[in-house]
Structure formats: C-alpha cells, structure tokens
Structure 1
Amino acid sequence: MDEKFDTADKKVLVDIVKLAQKRGLKGEFGDWKEFLNSHDKKFGAGLSDPSKRSHEVLAAFLKTFSKEDDLKFFDNIMRHHSNQYLLEQMKDNSHISPYQNRV
C-alpha cells in the first residue's frame, strides 16, 4: 500500500486524509492533527488543512496506518478515484466532432 501512496495524485491523498479525519481514524502517531504535531515541528497542527500540505507529508501520514480495515478503506477510495479517472478518459475519448458526423 505504501507505494500506492507514493504514486497517487495529491488530490486523492487529500481526499483520503479528509475522510480519515471525518471517521476519526488514527495511525501509529494518532489522528491527522496529532501526526502533524509530532511530524512537523515548524507548523504543527496550526496548518491542518490537508490540501495545504505536501504530497510527502500526506503520504507519510497514511503510511502510519496498519489496521486491515483502515487499509481496505483507503484502497477503496483510491479505486473509486481511479474509476472516476477512467470514466472521464472514456468520456473525453468518445466525443465525436461535428465534422465526423457528416462523413
């Protein structure tokens, strides 16, 4: 799962962290704000909006989770994002220009 976090789009990681916050999920270093307090002494939890954090910090937080249920939840979110991306690609590729309709 760790390498999935490393290669995931930042938007996906932000979404996962926000959902983890809503569910009150805690990794090895606690919840998101507790993680920030121990991981980032400069800003701590004062800047807790996940979208304002780097890809590396988001991935580091998500890598602190080890419970099977949490990992399945994260995997489902990543799969959902991947499916959405594929649907968008298919939609974009299926457009036929007006010129093609006349031929």
Structure 2
Amino acid sequence: MSPTKKRSCPLSQEAADRALPCTQGVFMSDRELLEYEPMWTTERDQWELHETSMGYQPILKGDPPMAELICDDDLAEQVIARMLAAGVTGVDRPH
C-alpha cells in the first residue's frame, strides 16, 4: 500500500456524495465502499488482515477461512485502511 493513498479516517458526507477516481479510469462511488462497511463495523470481529508480500489481505474467519478479493486496488486500499483504523486484528506474515 502506498502511504500517500492510505486513509485512516471515515469520509465526510461531502466526500461521500462525490465519485472518487480509480487507477483503472473508472469512477468508484462511495456506495461501492459502503458495501464493505460491515468489515470494519458490525462484522469487524469476524475478519482478520493477513500480511502478505504485497500488503494486507482481508480474511473472513471460519472453517475454512475465506479471502475477500477486491479487484479494484484503490477500493481495496480504502477498505483495508478503514479495517486497520477500526482495530481489525492483523496477522503477521509467516517467515
């Protein structure tokens, strides 16, 4: 994750009303981000962030655990930043 793109605070209502440009040239609305909101709010205890060589991967705890793949890099960075800010458990990468 790029430190310049990392956000650790929730968006204001004004920002939520605007579309955010993504690297793919498509516009991501904050509605797309809000679809993932339970991951750092109501379902926060059901998730872990596993450290990988490329950053963090959200993992839904369970048997078996399941990775949440977010194909839009900017959206993934925003979701992970909010999960970290909310205190979702991070799991270090095995060495």
TM-score w.r.t. the length of structure 1 is 0.25
Larger-gyration structure (1/2): 1
Higher helix share: 1
Higher strand share: 2
TM-score w.r.t. the length of structure 2 is 0.27
